[in-house]
Amino acid sequence: MKNSKSKFVTKTILKDSIVESFKKLNPKYMFKNPVMFVVEIGFFVSLISTIFPSIFGDKGSNLRIYDFIVAVILLITLLFANFAESIAEGRGKAQAETLKKTRRDTKAKLLDSNGNTKIINAGELKKGDRVLVEKGDIIPNDGEVVDGIASVDESAITGESAPIVKEAGGDFASVTGGTKIVSDWLKVRITAVPGESFLDKMIGLVEGASRQKTPNEIALNTVLVSLTLIFLIVLVALYPMASYTGASISISTLVALLVCLIPTTIGGLLSAIGIAGMDRVTRFNVIAMSGKAVESCGDVDTMILDKTGTITFGNRLAAEFVPVKGADKRELIDYSVVCSLKDDTPEGKSTVELGYKLGSGVEKNKYDDVHFEEFTAQTRMSGVDLSNGTSVRKGAYDAIVERVKKLNGNIPPDLEQIVNKVASMGGTPLVLCVGNRIYGVIYLKDTVKPGLVDRFRRLREIGIKTIMCTGDNPLTAATIAKEAGVDGFIAECKPEDKIDAIEKEQSEGRIVAMTGDGTNDAPALAQADVGLAMNSGTTAAKEAANMVDLDSDPTKILEVVEIGKQLLITRGALTTFSIANDVAKYFAIIPAIFMAAIPKMQVMNIMRLSTPYSAILSALIFNAIIIPLLIPVAMKGVKYKPMKSETLFLRNMFIFGLGGIIAPFVGIKIIDMLITPLVRILSLN
């Protein structure tokens, strides 16, 4: 499902969006967007004025032409606004069609109480039924593995080709309908009824069918409606003022003035921005269960993260070679590399990598024929036997000490101190010996993922506090926290401690995000304002969260927060641009209305527009074409850089506020120059 690099708009989406733009002209649909509904009323008023000019007292054929032009421009404005929303919806529907291809008329092997199987349609399965899925079978619906172990191809859902091992118990027992068994078999207990599976929910969400307006969107919509009412009152008051001064204002001019002054730009793009925000999250392979979840990401103040798998790799990797007193560090490094050349564990590979990084001169091809002793729970060590009879071993402190003593070797007096120091820092000490001589310790530690320090710094710049949760002791936790650059940590953390931490932050008015994948994470995921569950995790975790990461990458919460921030910034930036537009339109239309009756109003015609009619039509045309020009910004989002809220606000006010004032002055003047000859031909003067 990964398609972040897919085309912005395909031919199919473009074609469907044009058709939808006309369908959405239905007043029942337009009523949901009050600002654009006012524009539609204005269109009908201008159209009626064109057909029946006597109704509004308008006289003359040239005025009917003017009314008709206004009506056409208003219709185009409506179509452009509908087109913006349809483009956003079209991208979601295209993703939904991709997902629907994975949903087929699957057969299921229903198990009865005696373990016998019966072939039925997947649609007949009920919650609680048990089914058998074998190699090559499609899992018929969402469920929990109750028996068996198998590799599952989840590429239809996640886009990743590598199969995932699923087994009963633990955090990898959840399976998704539509995925395929590629090896062995599983017995699955169905946990969802047909039509309510995870795949069905995904399809509904990306289609936009389940999208509800978010609180921020509702609040902004209320502001836009209020501004519209204010300008409507101003317009009502303006008509008698114009009559008093002797200025004659046609009904279409009043409509044009109202449409230009109300925030039509953001009104036409508002819905598209919200849909596009969810679309960006979905293309990032995260399913948001609601638009509110995406917006909440933009408001996050505190992020609670598990250590293992999120901040660290979870595998203990070689970090340092510590020689005992009297031993040569170069020899310790070389023997550690020799001992690990055939060790395919993460510890072994990291030892070789670190050794060569520190300048080891060991030549791999010289040790192709050495005998390798694998690590076992009984010996608690691994190593190689060289062709000259020398044995090299690395392993647990007590196991190596016992081996050296049996070979009549001496135990270095500082060995125990080195081992204890490594252990106190949360590391794992591997002691290395050659024959009966101990050379030193390989310090293994849980390594912080690369790039996280910078990402945590970026989060700190935008005012987000990070808290690491770990079951490690306080000393180890402090070491990892300092290395990773998180703001705080909770050591020896239990599931209830996460809930307590979330509630504490929320009680102080903060919005909290966290990740999790296990059943024990479900309560905390439900408590958090943004809960990101791993798709590989349990059903309980996915049901408790309001976002699901299909790639099961816990660090993705960092990017998801930035997407949420980008959504809010995009909406704010375009709102600022839209309202700033009205200032320039005011200087275009108001002088045009009153110049004939009050010649001194010419001073306000700072754009030096040719005629009153060309000024009004230019402002109206600019008002229409700015909507499609801003569709790419609404869809892709305003470029986001981590910085403090105050700095970000001032930056966007400067770029979009000032830009929103300057752009209409330039655009309206250019349009006026282009249409002035046509206005004169039509005798609109």
Radius of gyration of the CA atoms of the chain, in A:
34
Rounded-to-integer distance, Cα 485 and Cα 501, Å: 19
Instruction: Say if residues 618 and 675 touch (Cβ distance below 8 Å).
Output: yes
**Angle value at C-alpha 575, between 570 and 581, nearest 5 degrees:** 130
Instruction: Give backbone dihedrals phi and psi of 4, rounded to 5 degrees, phi first.
Output: -65, -20
8-state DSSP, 599: G
Asked if 454 is an active-site residue, the reply is no
Q: Which residues of 508-526 are buried (b: 16+ CB within 10 A; e: fewer)?
A: eebbbbbbbbbbbbbbbbb
The residue assigned the tokens 């500082």 is 414
497 is in an annotated binding site: no
394 is in an annotated binding site: yes
- DSSP code string of 493-539: --HHHHHHHHHHHHHTT--EEEEE-SGGGHHHHHHSSEEEEETTS-H
Kindly give, in sequence order, each residue whose CB lies less than 8 Å from that of residue 366, ignoring residues fewer than 6 positions away. none
8-state DSSP, 60: S
343 is in an annotated binding site: yes
470-476 contact pairs (CB < 8 A, 24+): 470/306, 470/307, 470/308, 472/307, 472/426, 473/426, 475/424, 475/425, 475/426, 476/425, 476/426
The residue assigned the tokens 């483009």 is 87
Instruction: Name which of 300, 646, 640 is nearest 465 in CA terms.
Output: 300
Instruction: Say if residues 154 and 211 touch (Cβ distance below 8 Å).
Output: no
Q: How far apart are the first and last CA of the chain?
A: 58
Instruction: Say if residues 609 and 590 touch (Cβ distance below 8 Å).
Output: no
Q: Which residues of 542-561 are buried (b: 16+ CB within 10 A; e: fewer)?
A: bbbbbbbbbbbbbbbbbebb
User: Which pair of tokens denotes residue 565?
Assistant: 């921030």
382 is in an annotated binding site: yes
Instruction: Name which of 589, 626, 604 is nearest 234 in CA terms.
Output: 589
380 is in an annotated binding site: yes
Options 129, 137, 153, 306, the catalytic residue? 306
Helices and strands of the chain, counted as H and E runs: 24, 20
User: Which pair of tokens denotes residue 541?
Assistant: 């975790």
Rounded-to-integer distance, Cα 571 and Cα 273, Å: 7
521 is in an annotated binding site: yes
476 is in an annotated binding site: no
Residue 400 CB-half CA count within 13 A = 31
381 is in an annotated binding site: yes
376 is in an annotated binding site: yes
Instruction: Name which of 446, 483, 450, 484 is nearest 317 in CA terms.
Output: 446
Kindly give, in sequence order, each residue whose CB lies less than 8 Å from that of residue 324, ignoring residues fewer than 6 positions away. 412, 414, 415, 418, 438, 439, 440, 441
State the chain's maximal CA–CA distance in angstroms. 118
Residue ranges for the known binding site are 343, 347, 375-382, 394, 517, 521
Residue ranges for the known binding site for ATP are 343, 347, 375-382, 394
Residue ranges for the known binding site for Mg(2+) are 517, 521
Return the active site residues: 306
